[in-house]
Amino acid sequence: MDILQNIDVGLVVLDRDYQVCLWNQFMQNHSGSAPEHVLGRSLFEIFPSLPREWFCRKAEPAFVLQSATFTTWEQRPYLFHFPHYRPITGVAEFMYQNSTIIPLLDTHAEVSHICLILYDVTDSAISKIAQTETNHHLQGLSRIDHLTQLYNRGHWEHCLDQEFKRFDRYQIPCTLIMFDIDHFKKVNDTYGHSTGDEVIRMISQCLRDEMRETDIAGRYGGEEFCTVLTATDASGGLEFAERLRNRVVSQRLNLEEDIHVTISLGICELTTEIKDTNEWIERADQALYQSKEKGRNQSSLAGYQERT
């Protein structure tokens, strides 16, 4: 009994009605309830927040099949909302817990009681959570262009390939827009590259303001941008392009002096005639150069009349 009381895990013995028959020192210390206040009471009365149906489903195999069952903090962070006292993991809001439920056989080889063993796994849980968050952050950095906060070219091309395959299977309309900043070299030469970077940031913000969550935007290179509009035909793509173009026209960068820029855009709806993503990009790029040749600050549809 001394071992059961002083072991550094929680021990709770429950009868068939889930009434507490044993409550060790670990449980007393972390719950703040002494054995005389919990013995003979229902576990669900002591811990109202413990889902009865869920816990009984976990415990039934121990009673019926005489087999142990387990819960982990990944499934449910804790069974009992205990504060933690781990100096290493001071950021934790509660004690993360794993648990084991084992059957206790009587002299007739029948299970009339079960033993719930509770483990404090806060240190390892917090460490794993931190590692997962770091991995997600690094994964995000590998996909994002730091200047624009849009997808970088590599990841955007991967997404483009996925959208191409999805169209090939489901024939859902999808439109690609390529655009760049008019006379951007002049901006860099006149105001410097730091100002050029501010212009790029401004354009990318305009793009983020206009796009939907399902759209896929990236920086293709230098001052050139690209966007895949999902479930959108050429008409919808042109409407989006004009909204974006007009938004950019209305912007002013208030640095040493007002700087005003425009963009030219090319739009290409994906069709069954387009054999791969390279051809899709090439057609949108050709439409972009049509806009350039016609005077810039306009949108052109691949294979259609340009619009100013």
Domain stop point among 75, 96, 129: 129
Residue type at position 248: V
* DSSP state, residue 151: B
Across 6-15, 78-87, 250-259, 272-281, which has the greatest mean pLDDT? 272-281
pLDDT at 141: 59
Assess whether pLDDT exceeds 50 at residue 98: yes
Pair 20, 105 in one domain: yes
248 and 194 within one domain: yes
Fill in the amino acid letter for 32: G
Mean pLDDT for 54-65 is: 91
Which residue in 104, 95, 108 sits closest to 21, CA to CA?
Answer: 104
Higher pLDDT, 86 or 10: 10
Checking if the pLDDT of 128 tops 50, the result is yes
pLDDT of residue 307 exceeding 50, the answer is no
Say if residue 274 is in the same domain as residue 160.
yes
pLDDT at 126: 85
**Which whole number is the average pLDDT over 254-281?**
90
Q: How far apart are CA 78 and CA 154, in angstroms?
A: 41
- Helix, strand, coil share (%) of the chain residues, nearest 5: 45, 25, 35
Model confidence at 289: pLDDT above 70: yes
- Could you tell me if 32 and 117 lie in one domain? yes
Flag whether 29 is in a domain: yes
What average pLDDT does range 65-87 have in this prediction? 86
Share of the chain above pLDDT 90, in %: 69
Q: Which residues contact 177 (CB under 8 A, 6 or more apart)?
A: 226, 227, 228, 229, 237, 240, 241, 265, 266, 267, 284
- pLDDT for 139-151, tens place per residue? 655 789 989 999 9
**Domain containing residue 233: CATH number:** 3.30.70.270
User: What are the pLDDT digits (tens) for 173-196?
Assistant: 999 999 999 999 999 988 888 999
Q: What is the residue range of 24's domain?
A: 2-129
Indicate whether 64 and 201 sit together in one domain.
Answer: no
One domain for residues 29 and 155: no
Which of 210, 223, 269, 306 does the annotation list as catalytic?
A: 223
Q: Is the pTM of this model over 0.95?
A: no
- Whether residue 33 is found in the same domain as residue 89: yes
Q: What is the pLDDT of residues 21-32, one digit of tens each?
A: 999 999 999 999
**Number of domains, the chain:** 2
- Residue 215 CA to residue 175 CA, distance in Å, equals 10
- pLDDT at residue 305 in the model: 39
Instruction: Tell which residue, 193, 298, 189, 187, has the closest CA to residue 249.
Output: 298
Residue 67: beta bridge partners? Answer: none
Question: Residue 17 pLDDT more than 90?
Answer: yes
H or E stretch at 6: helix 2-6
**What is the per-residue pLDDT for 107?**
78
| Same domain flag for 124 and 150 | no
User: What CATH code is carried by the domain that includes residue 39?
Assistant: 3.30.450.20
Known catalytic residue at 74: no
What type of residue is 107? T
